[in-house]
Structure 1
């Protein structure tokens, strides 16, 4: 019978010595450490280590004095405490695993967002969650609506870098004005927005079609990495154009028009994503 109870206590997270000490105290208490060792069979060299562990966990009580006396928490109270702790652990595990599963799904999925306002709300969420860096490609129309969130991110220490189409001025962000912003708007027939937060999530899409605007949000590394790198390469190009614009335009035409035409598949050299 006693051996069975020892095994049950082990299933409740008792070590063998802890289980023996607790059972000895259930049979007779209060007892000194010496008496617990004698009655339980726990080696005297280990008994105070074992008793201290049980006291810290709340399974037994100790009375102060020159010779401490030990008493067990009643069995019903012990079981109730263990049950409550187990339920707390199960609830915590359930929530944590659900959050992890959701996060894992987010890292693999690509979510479609429809509507300009809905797209901007997702961009705001991305801004609020950023901790290190925000890369943002944007027109002035949308920048004005996001300026407050971006300013707050900068106040948190987030590096905010903007590739700007149009006259965007900011005292908290690194702003790079695209060398052919107006021409791009004409060629594409609309405005888009791209944001990369901490190189870990991206929102990208068309925002000039009102309720018919479309964007995608993802944490999928297969898209986050190339989109982020394209934005970084845009920054490279703007730095190069600022320093060597005259030389480059001698080879590739004003605003590198010859390059744009070289890689266009349309006779009018315009983009037709929105057709």
Structure 2
């Protein structure tokens, strides 16, 4: 009978010596450590290590004094505690594994978002989840819908850098005003939005077509890296234009028009992404 109970207790994460000590205390308690060792067969050199382990786990109780006495937690209470711990572990495992699985899928997938408001909602999610840095390219029309979330992120210590198309002012973010916002809107036939959150998550797309607006959201490194670097290179250009506008426009025309024409494949020099 005892051998079966020992195996059962082992399934509840008792060692062999712990099972023997606990079962001995169920038969008779309270007992001193010496008595537990004598009655259970646990070596005296190990008994206090075993009893300390059971005490720390809450399986037995010890009374203070010059000669400590040990008594077991009742069997029903032991099983109740183990059941509660198991349920908590299952709940934690279920939650953490689901989050890991979702995160793993997110790292590999590219998700399509349709509609201006839906795109802005996803951008807000990226802002709220950021912990270190936000890089954002945005027109003033869309900025108004994001300002509150951006301000809250800044209060949490997130560094925020914005390339603005239109008049955007901020007391919590570093803002670079693009030198040709109106021309770009005309050239591209719409307004886009691009955000990189912590260099791990991006949303990018055109946002000025109402329900027909399209954007992509992903954590896929194959897109996160180039899109993040695209924003950073735009920031390089903003810094360079601020300091060397005259020299650059002398070489490439006002607002670098000659460069834009050089790399256009369309006769009207417009970007025909939106039809």
Shift in Å at residue 250 of structure 1?
A: 2.0
Shift in Å at residue 56 of structure 1?
A: 1.8
- Per-residue CA deviation, residues 202-222 of structure 1 (Å, 9 max, x unaligned), is 111111111111111111111
Matched with 1:19 is 19
Shift in Å at residue 89 of structure 1?
A: 1.0
Cα distance in 2 between the residues matched to 1:153 and 1:183: 31
Cα distance in 2 between the residues matched to 1:113 and 1:274: 16
Cα distance in 2 between the residues matched to 1:85 and 1:150: 41
Query: TM-score under structure 2 normalisation?
Result: 0.95
Matched with 2:132 is 132
Matched with 1:31 is 31
Matched with 1:53 is 53
Matched with 2:158 is 158
3-state SS of paired residue (1:182): helix
Matched with 1:100 is 100
Matched with 1:112 is 112
3-state SS of paired residue (1:274): coil
Matched with 2:2 is 2
- Per-residue CA deviation, residues 175-225 of structure 1 (Å, 9 max, x unaligned), is 111122111111011111111111111111111111111111111111111
Cα distance in 1 between the residues matched to 2:222 and 2:251: 34
Shift in Å at residue 105 of structure 1?
A: 1.1
User: Does residue 214 of structure 2 align to residue 214 of structure 1?
Assistant: yes
Cα distance in 1 between the residues matched to 2:197 and 2:127: 7
Cα distance in 2 between the residues matched to 1:175 and 1:59: 61
Aligned 1:182-221 pairs, distance under 5 A: 182-221=182-221
Cα distance in 1 between the residues matched to 2:145 and 2:86: 48
Matched with 1:181 is 181
- Deviation above 6 Å: which 4+ runs of structure 1? none
Cα distance in 2 between the residues matched to 1:155 and 1:2: 62
Shift in Å at residue 122 of structure 1?
A: 1.1
- Number of residues paired by the alignment? 275
3-state SS of paired residue (1:125): helix
Cα distance in 1 between the residues matched to 2:75 and 2:195: 59
**What is the RMSD computed on CA atoms of the aligned residues?**
1.4
Matched with 1:226 is 226
3-state SS of paired residue (1:136): strand
User: Does residue 267 of structure 2 align to residue 252 of structure 1?
Assistant: no
User: Does residue 77 of structure 2 align to residue 77 of structure 1?
Assistant: yes
- Per-residue CA deviation, residues 221-269 of structure 1 (Å, 9 max, x unaligned), is 1111110000000001111111112112222121111111111110110
Which moves more between the two structures, 100-109 or 65-74?
65-74
3-state SS of paired residue (2:92): helix
Shift in Å at residue 3 of structure 1?
A: 3.1
3-state SS of paired residue (1:8): helix
3-state SS of paired residue (2:31): coil
